[in-house]
Chains A and B, each alone.
Chain A
């Protein structure tokens, strides 16, 4: 307590001390006077008395200094003096300060922003309790869309019984619902998860309002309940604190909100709300509960106490092998069924990992270049400041004191850069969050938080330390000779070597960044040249689901609802056709270029699978007679649908070229009969009857421009349930202008149904490449930043070299070197650096390109054109950067240059 009090007093003394100096002088003077008086009283002469008193005092100034040291905090005060000095010195060189601050701000800003994304999406522990013990299980097969085929309820039941290492296994079945308009918000589609009662317990999540589901919410005959995610509660339900107990109306029936769960990521699809299974009678039907191939449920597990990931993997493998052995018909060997057990956090970060680490590396490269540049600038300034430092040393400042002075100055510079950088980062993080949302459900967790700021602080302090220690100060012993040598030393050999090395490194790192940017840009160019397979882009599509999936899933007689939906689509078609400029309107189950979520096995009449041959699969799509023409899907062979292919007429199909080649490699498919097959058909309203192939249409890039071609089978819209939900409108020009009119028609005909994805084909295309484009744009801007900084760096170092060599150049010129020769000399000096940097950079770029293979499309990682282009660009910029100082050297007037020395 006593010490705390003393420290507070001293701290206060730092600020109030100077006011008490007069008082101190008086007190010491009084002491001296009394002592003098005492000596006089003892009989000394006043002069002698004064002399003795002075002698005994030990010196008033020294005493005052000692008291001052006790009064305040000396090191703090001298630091404050250093700070004042640093600010003054930086104010005197505004250009230097500005360049350093901007350069550092770019580097620190880029790193802070990208690091906050990496931390939010990849590094931060999950918000779930013991999130590192949470596992995600994934079943995959070969072929497109086979990466994650989910699990069936019987499969999950087997894992529950056979894997004791998993203490809890919960089910999460992605589903979508329409929430009817209410006092909070209008009607809207909602992505939800149907979950088992133990879901939240396994996930380790807690409610922020009300309660979460529990095992008593499982099974049939319980009331349907809904748990809102925090985000949905805040947005759609406006954070109503009394939401618990309220009813929410769905397409069909209503559910009770029982609680709001803390913010957390869901995977593999996002969820706005979680409901118990009873909401969908289909999920409790015998078909779902007993059908081993009815895979539509995701599985999350929590490691049992004491169990390890390896144990869980081994037990899952054993159980899965037994399942495949016991139910051979559900796992055809040609498709290579497999199950992976992944930590939940890794599974979530999987798609983002490569992209984000690549960005982090790019940002780190920018930091390296910025730092190199700032080091160079500091070195050059150090030469000009040498005189000042020498004077300070001569006045008694030690090496430590000088070092501290430099450190404070560099800390101020770095802090200014960091503050600006953090502002840049905060602005950038909002953009990056949108970018990251395309890769990761954790995008909401991206913030510039304390850990990110600690990272920034560490970066800042390291830069300041580095800058303070590259400046060469003499060793303590050689101080005197340094002082006496004075300022007659320009640019030592070591320093020049360091500067050149830094320039080479800058160029090399810039080339690596440019190579990455070049490859990603080439990827974008390749993607934009991909033929979508559609004949036109003047196509607008919109999704209006008149017959809700929930209604189909409920089972029972839905013929009336189906007929009503079809009539609704018919009216929309008629009205849309009346819009001026519209050429054709079609209806189908999916938008053009959209991949189907329904993939089913296909068989051909009179053919059986060869041993080991994978079961052929195709996307389930429906189309009315006008769909192909409206969407611009070309007919290759046979015919498309006709009005006569109505319900009750002979079943016909149109297949795409991929499926035709797969099923009929050497035959004409027209007239052949094919059918959907597989156990799973029993659980769907899709018929397994034979259907006659009447036409073959061209392939389209369903599921993205970079996607593998997928087999597709089109059914006549009239012969199937109206699961279809897309109206496709083709116009002769400028179709995007029709969006408002089309939306108005749909709204009039189906006021209670949400209208989604009103998009032109061009927009759909764009959407599918936008994550890649953002990635390319980010890396390219990092590359551009790097090149600019590097160009400034090389020009600066050469200019400095020219000014340091003015004298030498003057001598050369007076001995007969003409200005062209001098220019060549300086260019040659820069050229060597440039060549070395280019060589290193191309080598580094080759190594880096291999890592980013997974992000490229249509271009080889070592694409020669890209590397040649990048090297040429860097060389060009480098030569221009060398030219400026070279010209300046050539203009040196020997007379002036020599007189100046």
Chain B
């Protein structure tokens, strides 16, 4: 439990969008499962974090929602990536890589200095 992370603001949207792009239309539970699996259990998502993020993306027009029957014949709300969402995903992915590179570059010399 000790190494579980709180999900960071801003990264959750990116995770949701990626999940929907990879797996196609999915309900909230599916999204949560996928994120937890991908993080290999290092991330937990409670409802109070997940659903406001989904609603925000919906309000922004990145995803749209509709009620459907699930595979085990259960009614669930499915989220689908929109064209705008795809564009947003591409942009955020690019931004994220840039930021990650930048941070890595900043942190790298220190680590080198510490190593010996």
Binding site for B on A (CB under 8 A): 2-3, 5-6, 9-10, 13, 23-24, 26-28, 30-31, 33-35, 37-38, 56-60, 62-63, 65-67, 69-71
Contacts and interface: CB of A to CB of B under 8 A. Distances in A.
A197 B84 CA distance: 66
B59 A34 contact: no
A2 B46 contact: no
A76 to B, nearest CB: 15
Q: Which 8 A-B pairs have the closest CB atoms?
A: A58-B46, A63-B47, A9-B59, A70-B52, A63-B48, A66-B48, A34-B29, A6-B59
Interface string B61-74: 11000000010101
A71 B55 contact: yes
B35 to A, nearest CB: 13
Contacts of A35: 29
Nearest to A68: B52
Interface string B31-62: 01100000000001011110110011011111
Nearest to B44: A56
Interface of B: 27-29, 32-33, 44, 46-49, 51-52, 55-56, 58-62, 70, 72, 74-77, 84, 88
A9 B88 CA distance: 18
A595 B32 CA distance: 96
A27 B28 contact: yes
Contacts of A10: 59
A30 B27 contact: yes
6 contacts: A2-B60, A31-B29, A37-B72, A59-B46, A63-B51, A66-B49
Contacts of B48: 58-59, 62-63, 65-67
Contact of B47 (A13, A37, A57): A57
B51 A66 contact: yes
Contacts of A69: 52
Nearest to B84: A2
Of the candidates B48, B49, B60, B77, the one having the most CB atoms from chain A within 10 angstroms of its own CB is B48
A27 B77 contact: yes
Given A13-B59, A63-B47, 20 more contacts: A3-B60, A5-B61, A6-B59, A9-B60, A10-B59, A24-B51, A26-B77, A30-B27, A31-B27, A38-B33, A58-B49, A59-B46, A59-B47, A60-B47, A62-B48, A66-B49, A67-B48, A70-B52, A70-B59, A71-B55
A55 to B, nearest CB: 9
Of the candidates B46, B61, B74, B75, the one having the most CB atoms from chain A within 10 angstroms of its own CB is B46
Contacts of B28: 27, 30-31
A386 to B, nearest CB: 38
Contact of A31 (B47, B56, B72): B47
A71 B59 CA distance: 8
Contacts of B46: 56-59, 63
A30 B72 CA distance: 12
B61 A2 contact: yes
A663 B55 CA distance: 99
Contacts of B62: 2
Nearest to B61: A5
Contacts of A6: 56, 59-61
B42 to A, nearest CB: 15
Contacts of A38: 33
B57 to A, nearest CB: 9
Contacts of B44: 56
B29 to A, nearest CB: 4
Contacts of B74: 30, 33-34
Contacts of A62: 47-48
Of the candidates A3, A26, A31, the one having the most CB atoms from chain B within 10 angstroms of its own CB is A31
Nearest to B62: A2
